[in-house]
């Protein structure tokens, strides 16, 4: 038993030294030095055939973070500070973030039925939710993927449509109250 406990301690120490944390056997990278890490998760199988495209639109450009299908998650390394993220489906949904360096944050891609295809929204996962059974289940059943050249090519090819959705739904976002926007904002203390 003592040897077993020692083995577990060694594995945990090696995980910390290597700069990554393992969740259900899959390493989540630690934030790069001077950066924050945002994990976008889509644990639901609902609307599984429709993919959701996630963007960082902070600079006013639609910078693709990646394309998520059901049961997947993306890790996005970004400079600390204020950011605005967008998810595209039949609509466009937004989430603001105020990020601190060396912390990892989580955002949930929610799926709803649309008129023609799935509608998506981004929801911040609060720090007090990170140890919940529901979050641990989401984290376990989602597979970490990376942004690919194929995603970047797709975003470039569909840039006019993406831009149209951003403009149309940004007008609706801008009409939201400060309280409504705060509900859709990752705060500095939501990170770990």
Stretch among 6-10, 91-95, 112-116, 173-177 having the lowest mean pLDDT:
6-10
Domain boundaries, the chain: 1-28, 31-190
pLDDT tens readout for residues 65-92: 999 988 999 999 999 999 999 999 888 9
pLDDT at 38: 96
pLDDT at 112: 77
Contacts of residue 108, Cβ cutoff 8 Å, sequence gap at least 6: 40, 41, 42, 43, 122, 123, 124, 125, 138
Instruction: Report the predicted TM-score, pTM, of the whole model to 2 decimal places.
Output: 0.81
pLDDT tens readout for residues 49-58: 678 899 999 9
Q: Hey, what are 163's tokens?
A: 């831009």
Burial class (CB in 10 A: 0-12, 13-18, 19+), 158: middle
pLDDT at 5: 36
Model confidence at 41, in pLDDT bands (50, 70, 90)? very high
108 closest CA partner among 141, 153, 155, 152: 141
pLDDT tens readout for residues 112-141: 765 556 678 899 999 999 989 999 898 888
Q: Hey, what are 108's tokens?
A: 């949930």
190 closest CA partner among 116, 80, 56, 98: 98
pLDDT at 30: 83
Residue 22 has pLDDT above 70, yes or no: no
Query: What is the C-alpha to C-alpha distance for residues 171 and 144, in angstroms, rounded to an integer?
Result: 32
Stretch among 3-12, 107-116, 141-150 having the lowest mean pLDDT:
3-12
Q: Strand pairing of 92-99 and 185-186?
A: parallel
């Amino acid at each position: 038993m003592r040897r077993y406990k020692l083995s577990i301690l060694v594995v945990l120490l090696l995980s910390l030294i290597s700069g990554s944390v393992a969740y259900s056997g899959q390493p989540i990278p630690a934030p790069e030095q001077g950066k924050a890490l945002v994990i976008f998760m889509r644990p639901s199988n609902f609307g599984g055939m429709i993919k959701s495209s996630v963007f960082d639109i902070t600079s006013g450009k639609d910078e693709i973070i990646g394309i998520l299908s059901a049961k997947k998650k993306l890790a996005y390394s970004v400079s600390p500070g204020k950011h605005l993220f967008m998810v595209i489906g039949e609509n466009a949904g937004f989430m603001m973030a105020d990020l601190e360096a060396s912390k990892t944050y989580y955002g949930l891609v929610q799926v709803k039925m649309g008129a023609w295809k799935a509608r998506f929204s981004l929801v911040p996962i609060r720090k007090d939710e990170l140890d919940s059974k529901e979050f641990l289940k989401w984290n376990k059943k989602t597979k970490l993927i990376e942004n690919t050249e194929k995603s970047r090519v797709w975003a470039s090819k569909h840039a006019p449509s993406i831009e149209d959705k951003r403009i149309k739904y940004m007008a609706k976002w801008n009409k939201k109250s400060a309280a409504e926007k705060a509900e859709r904002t990752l705060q500095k203390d939501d990170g770990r």
